[in-house]
A and B are shown apart, each in its own frame.
Chain A
Amino acid sequence: MNTLTTTFIKRLRDRDEAAWFELWETFGPVIRSQLTRWGRGYVGLETVRDLTQETLAELSKSIHRFDPERGVRFSTWLLAIARHCFGDEMDRRNASKRGSGRRPGSLFDGAVPESRIPQPEKAYEHRVFLAKVHAAVRQVESEADFIQFQVYRMRVFENQPGRTVSAALGISEPTVSRHLGRIRNMLRMQLESIITMYSFTKEELQEPLQAGLVGSDTMFDDALSELHVQHSIHEHKDQAGIQLA
């Protein structure tokens, strides 16, 4: 564990609203997505939103119990809290159905098929990693110059040739390269900072390496573009799920 992580946990424990907002922005969509997946067909959009908020509220109550030294991923812990919130909601719903003749305890398993019972599966962990990468991109977008970030977006995320980008924005090609380099450096630094802040185990700290985010510029750009696209696809699916619900 590192200074950034401990500082962040300390901020959360000190009820720093900005820290909670950061956490909400970063992990809120992942939790919402997971709850939507568990509750598909059983709970609606509003309930998913309520449950997401409830999960964060429960987290705020029990943040003092989280011990990063134990080596448990923060995301796994968050998932466990989300699961309890979801289970409570299902219990409440089924308990309110009179005459069903079933014990509330048995309803959660009945309502949620075995395959949906939350486990810290790889897909979920990957979503959490994508959320961290997205948080870093969002942070850089917020800090960087608008044109410079758009250059990076067009060049890397949309894979447009340098000449097209320079023509579209009315800047020279060397300027495009310069902007590209500057944003790349910012992204590297921000990724390091964010991933360090939200990672509590060695495995989590190794994730950028496995994803190819540590390497040459080309490798970095390719890996980041791939992760960004993956995140966008997940996000798109979630949106579709939310709209359907």
Chain B
Amino acid sequence: MLCIGVLVYLSLRMIRPVFLGFCWVFSRTWSWFFASVGDVLIIVTNLIANVIMVPLVIIATMFGRWQAADRLAETLGAENIRALNACWYLLVRRPLHLVCLWPIRPATRPRPVAPATPALASPVGEFPGYVVQRTLPPGGSGARLVVACPTREHQESGTSIPDLVVIKSFHVGQGSTLPQIVRESRSLEAARSLGLVLEHELDQERFYYVMPYHEGETINAVTRSLHAATDGQGLQIEQLRRVLEIEHDLVHTLCTYHREGLWHKDVKPENVIVTPDRAWLVDLGLITPLRSEMTLTTHGTEYFRDPEMVRQALRGVKVHQVDGALFDVYGAGAVLYFMMENTFPAHGVLSRFDRRSPEVVRWIIRRAMTDYAKRYQSAESMLADLAAVMASEDPYVLVPADLPSLRGSAKSGAEKPAHRPLATPASTSHAARSPRSNITAGFGSAVSTMSSRVRQAATTTGSRLNQRLTRGNVRRFVGFAIVLLSLGFLLSLIMDIGSHGTSGDHYHSLARIERSTNTWSRIIPVNEYELAATGLQGLEDLHPSIGDGARLIVVNETGLATGFADRTVRHVLDALSQSGCEVVLEDISAQARLLSILAIEGDLDDESAVTRWQVALKAGGYTGMIWIARDTGPSGDAREPLMKVVVPLEPIASAEPRTRRSAWPDQVHASSAVFCDNHAGSTRNSHERSSRAQAA
């Protein structure tokens, strides 16, 4: 019995390892089988791909479709490498792995782990001249926001800095990207002139700017508290006055922005901070110059962003082709709706009003949020209407016909009060509230003494008379405008033909640079065929700076395109490197700085822009800049990347006046490298080279 028991025990103990061993062998064989089947499938599909694609490559080559052939060959090459790899695995590695002679990594790749933050030259969180107090929740851009106070030395250094500031910082090693940094830095100069930004700094690893800090609540919180006491019935007169004050400050700030040529682009309740003395529009993340040549984007916040902007952005319209100020006006109207209704305008101008509110306020909201072409044509008009409402004794008595915009006197109303400029940080705490205080004081004063019936009658008669007068004036004006437009069109046509007759905007801008900056430009082809014909011989002759020791920075505005354009650009970069130039690709801060200037100034068509550009290059210790941009055709359609090699010029003031190039070449190719300098001596050589290139 004991023996039997021992045997049973041993057999039971043995069953499990035997079973496990069997499972292991089975699973290993099974996995080998399936992996091998996978490899065989890869090889078979590769054979089929070869059968299909090789003739295609041959046909493309025969018809001279180099790019297509190149692309197909690349794909085929990658597929063949994959098939060879599968063969290697099928014949060698997997059998060896099956007999435990070769480990194979699991098929699934480990999820990429974000690299640890590299050690920083200047620790994040420490800003020279400031002591960080606390951190604020990050905004949508992911930038870091801290509240800091300036050190005594920094305050005494001459800059007027308030006691508390907000520092917004972007760090390349912590997720911020170059486009983000460029977007933020785009309008800093203008924002600085408005007092919105106190200082900004861009170094190798990070970018930050300092703004005044306003301790207060957002409109969200203020609106909630205002409506909490009303039981959903609508705002009382005191609360209404508060809302109008906030809106007045907001629109007034927008007026200042627009006067300075800026577009805030993200007007929403969360971006308005209400302090006891006034409301402040914050967040400069999307600020864009109204004249920017960049393509319109759909950035913004739903319900507070004009749908028309999205439509235009989808069409690929440029910023300067629309009036961005009108989109801000839409946002201001939406914010006023939010404050009146305690909810967002889900259906734009057709959103329903459920709470009691004056008809004139509703009118202002609708006028601000209506179709792009019919809304207030400037923030000033809206401000004038708001001022009229605030100046009335009882806004509920007012009718839309009393508003300056409907009476046709919006402009005078808007220009009447000498609104204080946006307060500089130093004067923030003691900011005088003159314009609004005056208007607000009139809230209780006797302004409308006419009875409403008399006023209605007067308004009706007046409007009829105005209509008659206006019709005649309109006809005359339209006729005059048509004649003027026709003349202007003819004149521009003649001038256009007379100047150079080239088609692309790019060449116009180059001509402008040439005209305005005492430089000369020349064009050598880097297009794939012309490059093959002419080569890059004599590249170093073009400018004495290109050669040993020259330091050129590559500013890539587009992201390198794939295919031939990429290789062409690389070819030129290699040629420059071989001629002794140092080509710098990594200096992200300098790239951002230069791109920022390009973004603000568009085509660099004035002297100050070029001067700033030169200064920025010299400050970075660069001899020149290789600017890779996407060429656009006459209709704005994107073409191949365009590379311009730009050598910095002497400051305009000290430059010798030179003879202008007589005529712009009539036939220039879309892809070209442009070399600019101010050496009169090299003009002749360059002309010769240009002629040779064209002949080729």
Contacts and interface: CB of A to CB of B under 8 A. Distances in A.
Given A17-B314, A169-B400, A235-B346, A142 B460 contact: no
A133 to B, nearest CB: 11
Interface string A21-39: 1000100010000000000
Contact of B460 (A138, A145, A150, A170): A170
Contacts of A134: 347, 350
A62 interface: no
B346 A239 contact: yes
**In this complex, which of A29, A168, A236, A243 has the most chain B Cβ atoms within 10 angstroms of its Cβ?**
A168
Contacts of B29: none
Contacts of B352: 232, 235-236
A222 interface: no
A209 interface: no
B346 A238 contact: yes
A51 to B, nearest CB: 15
Interface string B400-439: 1100001100000000000000000000000000000000
A239 B311 contact: no
Nearest to B347: A235
A236 B348 CA distance: 13
A236 B371 contact: no
Contacts of B462: 170
A29 B314 contact: no
B204 interface: no
B401 A146 contact: no
Contacts of B371: 141-143, 146
B464 interface: yes
B311 A18 contact: yes
A243 B460 CA distance: 44
Contacts of A235: 346-347, 351-352
Nearest to A173: B460
Interface string B360-403: 00010011001100110000000000000000000000011100
B207 interface: no
B615 interface: no
A171 interface: yes
A137 interface: yes
A171 B343 CA distance: 33
Nearest to B308: A142
Nearest to A242: B346
Interface string A115-147: 000000000000000000010011001110110
Contacts of B456: 167, 170
Contacts of B195: none
A172 interface: yes
Contacts of B80: none
A141 B307 contact: no
Contact of B344 (A169, A172, A239): A239
A176 to B, nearest CB: 11
By size class, the interface of chain B is 35 or more
Interface string B331-362: 00000000000011011111110100001000
Contacts of B348: 138
A172 B467 CA distance: 11
A171 B460 contact: yes
A172 B460 contact: yes
A1 B460 CA distance: 50
B463 interface: yes
Interface size class of A (residues with CB under 8 A): 20 to 34
Contacts of B141: none
Nearest to A146: B374
Contacts of A167: 399, 401, 452, 456, 459-460
B343 A168 contact: no
A169 B314 contact: no
A126 B305 CA distance: 29
A235 B370 CA distance: 19
A24 B351 CA distance: 17
A166 interface: yes
Nearest to A145: B374
A168 B349 contact: no
A17 B298 CA distance: 13
B310 interface: yes
B311 A21 contact: yes
A169 B407 CA distance: 10
A138 B310 contact: no
A17 B349 CA distance: 23
A168 B460 CA distance: 10
A146 B460 contact: no
Contacts of B344: 239
A225 to B, nearest CB: 13
Given A137-B350, A141-B371, A243-B343, A168 B366 contact: no
B609 to A, nearest CB: 34
Interface string B612-643: 00000000000000000000000000000000
A45 to B, nearest CB: 11
A21 B310 contact: yes
A170 B402 CA distance: 8
Contacts of A238: 346
B463 A168 contact: no
Contacts of A138: 347-348, 350
Nearest to A138: B350
Interface string B194-210: 00000000000000000
A137 B370 CA distance: 13
Nearest to A49: B302
Contacts of B452: 167
A131 to B, nearest CB: 11
Q: Kindly name the residue among B314, B347, B348, B349 whose own CB sees the greatest number of chain A CB atoms within 10 A.
A: B347
Contacts of A169: 399-401, 406
A187 B521 CA distance: 58
Nearest to B345: A239
Contacts of A171: 460, 463
22 contacts: A18-B315, A21-B310, A137-B350, A142-B371, A143-B371, A145-B374, A146-B367, A150-B400, A166-B460, A167-B399, A167-B401, A167-B452, A167-B460, A168-B359, A169-B399, A170-B406, A172-B460, A172-B464, A232-B352, A236-B352, A239-B343, A239-B346
Interface of B: 307, 310-311, 314-315, 343-344, 346-352, 354, 359, 363, 366-367, 370-371, 374-375, 399-401, 406-407, 452, 456, 459-460, 462-464
Given A134-B347, A146-B367, 4 more contacts: A143-B371, A150-B400, A170-B460, A238-B346
Cβ-closest 10 pairs across A and B: A170-B401, A232-B352, A168-B399, A167-B456, A170-B459, A146-B374, A142-B371, A17-B314, A170-B463, A239-B346
